[in-house]
Amino acid sequence: MSLEQTGVAADAPDRPDVELSLTVVRYADGPDRCTIYPPEATGDARLSTWLSADYEAAVELSAMQ
């Protein structure tokens, strides 16, 4: 299992910029998983403001606009 971490910013003209962090966990025996979360969140907020999915399900925002 390996771990990568990268900062991500959402850029939409009708919404304020939001800074998010992305962590990818790579598994040798299953699909890689990515988790997106606000980096400044702590405590209970950090436990309730994240989203995880199979890495293959993620697409570039520009590809969906």
> Which of the four pLDDT bands, split at 50, 70 and 90, describes residue 62?
confident
Domain extent, residue 19, equals 2-52
Question: In DSSP terms, which residues pair with 24 in a beta bridge?
Answer: 4, 34
Residues 3-51 have pLDDT tens digits of: 455 544 445 567 777 788 888 999 999 999 998 889 888 888 888 888 8
Predicted model pTM: 0.59
Residue 60 confidence class, pLDDT cut points 50, 70, 90: confident
| Residue 62 lies inside a defined structural domain of this protein | no
User: What is the distance of C-alpha 63 from the center of its chain?
Assistant: 17
Q: Where are the beta strands (DSSP E) in the chain?
A: 2-10, 18-26, 33-37, 51-54
Is 61 within a domain?
Answer: no
Largest Cα separation within the chain, whole Å, is 41
Evaluate whether residue 57 is within a structural domain.
Answer: no
Count structural domains, the chain: 1
